[in-house]
Structure formats: C-alpha cells, structure tokens
Amino acid sequence: MSFSLPETYLIGLSGLLLVITILVGRQFFRTRKDEIKLIKLEEGSSNSSKDAGDLYELASVQLRKRLYPQATATLKRALKQLNGEPSEAKALIENALGFSLAAQNDFKSAVIHYKTAIKAKSDYPVALNNLAFAKKRLLDTDEALELYEEVLRLDPKNKTALREFEKLKKTKGTISQNNIDSKGF
C-alpha cells in the first residue's frame, strides 16, 4: 500500500492533532479536578477545621494551583493544629511550608522550615533536597553540596540530587579556577 505525499501529510497531521488533543484533554481534566477539590475543601469544613490533615490537603491543592500566600497561611494553621500527630506529619507540613515560602523567594524562612522538617524526620530526602536548593539560592554552595551528598547517601539514585550536585561541583570548580587565575598562581 503506497501513500501519496498529500495523504502521508494528512495522516501525520491527524496523528499529531490526536496526540495534542489527548495531552490537552488530560491537562484540562487534571486542572478541573483540582478546581473542584479546592472548591469543596474551601466550602467544606476544611477552612474552619481543627484537623491538620484536612488543612494539609487544602494547602496541597493550593500549592498545585500556585496559590502560595494562601497555602502558607493554611500550612501555618495546620502546624498550630498538630496534636498527637506522628513526627512524619509535622515533617510533611514543615516541608510544604518551606516550599511555599521558597516559591515566594523567602529562602531564609524556607530554610528554617526545612530544618524543622529534617529534625522531625532525619531521613527525609525531599526536605534535604529542598534545603540544599534554598542554601544554593542563598549562595551557600558549600553547605548545599554537603546536603546533596547527604541526600545521595540516603537515596543514591535521586535524580535531582545527582544533577544539582554535579552542577554545583562544576560551578565551584570553575569559581576556584577563576580565583587561582586572577591571583596569578
């Protein structure tokens, strides 16, 4: 079976449009699902809830929707409502709060919350990665390198830590070489 050039073009174009339609549809339904969940959580008892889990769930949706100031306020309320919850719950909320603050470029406050999350759960690679990122943004590359190394000790296949560790090593090597060259050694 042989296709002419216009037929091949139309088949290829139809296939491309089908793939684009599927991708756009998936994104639309994800966004719609988050919108519905956000509305239900805000209208429901979550907004005035005393349960830290409900508040964390609301904040998670707010973070996905990039409503960072609202998520920050919700997560702070969730921290106040933590009563008898396991330390993992506190670590999750503190990490999410640090993420929300970092998204607003408040890296100093984010560092505080990431450290609290790590105190609550010392083997928490996500919080360590986030802390290393914040330290890197605060130009504390030595500590960021150490933190990425710690993540790699906990999870040797962590893609984020591997990528960022290599970037920082290269950057630090370049800076050191430039300092040596500028001093004339």
Q: Is the pLDDT of residue 97 over 60?
A: yes
CATH code of residue 181:
1.25.40
164 in a domain, yes or no?
Answer: yes
Specify whether the backbone of 158 is left (phi greater than 0), alpha (psi in -120 to 50) or beta.
Answer: beta
**How does pLDDT run across 101-117, given as a tens digit for each residue?**
999 999 999 999 999 99
Tokens of 57: 């769930």
pLDDT at 44: 67
Of the pLDDT bands very low, low, confident and very high (cuts 50, 70, 90), residue 49 is low
d(CA 146, CA 140): 10
Give the pTM: 0.73
**How does pLDDT run across 9-39, given as a tens digit for each residue?**
999 999 999 999 999 999 888 888 877 777 7
Of the pLDDT bands very low, low, confident and very high (cuts 50, 70, 90), residue 173 is low
Domain that holds residue 39: 33-107
Residues 85 and 140 in one domain: no
Residues 130 and 178 in one domain: yes
What is the residue whose two structure tokens read 């505080």?
112
The domain boundary residue, chosen from 50, 77, 107: 107
Torsional sign, CA 108, 109, 112, 115: negative
